[in-house]
Structure 1
Amino acid sequence: MAVIVWVVEGTWPACVDAARTHAPEDAEIVLLHVSEDDVAGAAHGAYAGLLGRRHPEHDPGTRLERLAADSAERLLAAAAERLDRPCVRRARTGRPEREIVAATEGADLLVLARDGDRDHLGPRSLGPASRFVVDHAPCPVLLVWPDPPPTVETLPPAPPPPPHGPHPPSHGR
């Protein structure tokens, strides 16, 4: 069994704990972090456009890429330590939602955390990237709360009944 755990700043401990609890002992667990490339790309572009290409060693985009890689490595190391069992650590760069979906091809389970509104039950508990992943993952998804979940009293109100009451059953006419 192959289990992918999406490691994201702020929510990763809940995902790692869920994988430790729900993945079989013999599962191959992959801890996956995705760094967005848009910030470093913008810095590369700004440097090239404003200051030229004469001194690539001064390009701030390169420094941002290194900082992102170092941060991802530290986060993955902390996640592996918390998991406390054999695992594979992978770091990718790109659009997180697309990288995660691509990584789940052939996987048996994806573990991710809710990253939106943590105070209410409902669809807003997922941010845009997580919603995309949940909607497009080609494998089962284990969606966890990073904090204790809100109570059922936080459910949105039920929609109002139809204006003319329920429709009578049709008899094939």
Structure 2
Amino acid sequence: MAVVVWIVEGTWPACVDAARAHATADTGIVLLHVTPADVPGAAHGAFAGLLGRGHPERDPGTRVEHLAAASARDLLQAAADRLGLPCTRVERTGRVEREVVAEAEGCELLILARDGDRTHLGPHSLGPAGRFVVDHAPCPVLLVWPEAPPVPPAMPPPPPPRP
């Protein structure tokens, strides 16, 4: 059995705890972190367009790439330490939601946390990336709350009967 755990800043502990709770002795666990490609790209573009003609050695995009890679490694190490089980760490760069779906190809379970408005129950508790992953995942998905779910004041009323 292969389980992919999407590691995201701020929500990863709940995903790791869910993986530990659902893992068996023969489970292959993959901790996945995806760095968005647009952040270093924006720094490269701003420097080239506004400041850096003729001075590529001063391009801050390269520094942003190195900082992002170091942050991803640290986050994956913290997740592996919390998991306490053998696992594989995967770092990807690109369109986050597409990279997560691609990594989930062929796995038996994908674990991710809600990434939207977590103060209310309902569809808005998934942000655009989480919604895309849930809608396009090629495997079963375990969707976890990164903290205790909000207590609803009451269940919404049912829709009115159709005439």
Shorter-chain TM range is: over 0.9
Residue matched to 1:145: 145
Deviation string 1:88-143 (CA, Å, 9 cap, x unpaired) is: 11111111100000111111110000111222221111111000000000001010
Q: Which moved more, 1:122-131 or 1:52-61?
A: 52-61
Residues 13, 161 of structure 1: CA spacing in aligned structure 2 closer, same or farther, 3 A cutoff? Answer: same
| Separation of aligned partners in 2, 1:131 and 1:74 | 26
CA shift for structure 1 position 24? 1.4
Does the aligned pair in 2 maintain the 1:110–1:139 contact within 8 Å? yes
Residue matched to 1:132: 132
Residue matched to 2:91: 91
| Separation of aligned partners in 1, 2:161 and 2:15 | 39
| Separation of aligned partners in 1, 2:155 and 2:75 | 33
Superposition pairs for residues 3-152 of structure 1, below 5 Å?
A: 3-152=3-152
Could you tell me the percent identity over the aligned residues? 72
Instruction: Count the aligned residue pairs.
Output: 163
| Separation of aligned partners in 1, 2:154 and 2:88 | 38
Q: Larger Cα Rg: Structure 1 or Structure 2?
A: 1
CA shift for structure 1 position 152? 4.7
Matching residue's letter, 2:46: A
Deviation string 1:2-50 (CA, Å, 9 cap, x unpaired) is: 1100000010000000000012121110000011111210111122222
- Match of 1:54, SS? coil
- Match of 1:161, SS? coil
Matching residue's letter, 1:146: P
Does the aligned pair in 1 maintain the 2:7–2:76 contact within 8 Å? yes
CA shift for structure 1 position 53? 4.5
Stretches of structure 1 that go unaligned for 5 or more consecutive residues are 165-173
- Match of 2:146, SS? coil
Deviation string 1:44-100 (CA, Å, 9 cap, x unpaired) is: 112222234522221010011011111111100000000001101111111110000
